Amino acid sequence: MPTSRRVIAVRVAAVLTLAGVLVGCVSREESAGTQQAPATVPLSELSDVTLQIGDQKGGTESLLNAAGALNDLPYKVVFSTFTSGPPQVEAATAGKIDFAVTGNTPPIFGAAAGAKVKVVTAYENGGDGDRVLVRADSPIKTVADLRGKSVAVGKGSSAHGHILAQLQKAGLSPADVKLVFLQPADALTAFTSGQADAWAIWDPYTAQVEQQVPVRSIAEATGVTNGAGFGIASDAALADPKRNTALSDFLVRYAKAARWARDHPDEWAAKYSAAVGLALPVGTVAQGRSLRSSVALSDQLIASEQKLADLFAETKQISTAPTFANWVDHRYDEALKPFVTNGS
Amino acid at the residue 63: L
Q: Calculate the CA dihedral of residues 177, 82, 53, 163 and round it to 10 degrees.
A: -10
The CATH number covering residue 164 comes to 3.40.190.10
Render pLDDT for 65-120 as a digit per residue (tens, 0 to 9).
Answer: 999 999 999 999 999 999 999 999 999 999 999 999 999 999 999 999 999 999 99
Inform me whether the pLDDT recorded for 202 exceeds 50. yes
What pLDDT score does 14 carry?
33
Q: What is the mean pLDDT of residues 253-265?
A: 95
Q: How confident is the model at residue 127 (pLDDT cuts 50, 70, 90)?
A: confident
- Tell me what the mean pLDDT of segment 247-256 comes to: 97
Amino acid sitting at position 153: V
Look at residues 203, 220, 237 and tell me which one is the last residue of a structural domain: 220
- Classify strands 117-124 and 150-153 as parallel, antiparallel or unpaired: unpaired
- Which of 165, 193, 220 is where one domain is finished? 220
Residues 64 and 243: their CA atoms lie apart, in Å, by: 19
Statement: residue 331 has pLDDT above 50: yes
Partners of residue 181 on adjacent β-strands: 153
Q: Kindly indicate the confidence band of residue 47, based on its pLDDT and cuts at 50, 70 and 90.
A: very high
Nearest to 184 by CA among 143, 130, 228: 130
- Residue 111: which domain range? 4-125+226-339
- Region 133-139: mean pLDDT is 97
Which residues fall within 8 angstroms of residue 23, CB to CB, at 6 or more apart? none
- Whether 77 contacts 70, CB under 8 Å: yes
DSSP states of 134-161 = EETT-S--SGGGGTT-EEEE-TTSHHHH
Domain count, the chain: 2
Residue 108's pLDDT is 96
Task: From 220, 244, 279, give the residue that closes a domain.
Answer: 220
Helix (H, G, I), strand (E, B) or coil at 237: helix
The amino acid present at 113, given as its one-letter code, is: A
Residue with more model confidence, 186 or 341: 186
- Position 33 pLDDT exceeds 90: no
pLDDT-based confidence at residue 292 (cuts at 50, 70, 90): confident
Q: Please report the pLDDT score of residue 24 as a whole number.
A: 33
Average pLDDT over residues 28-44: 73
pLDDT at 3: 45
Answer whether residue 99 is part of any domain: yes
Decide: 97 and 52 in contact? Cβ < 8 Å.
yes
* Amino acid making up residue 24: G
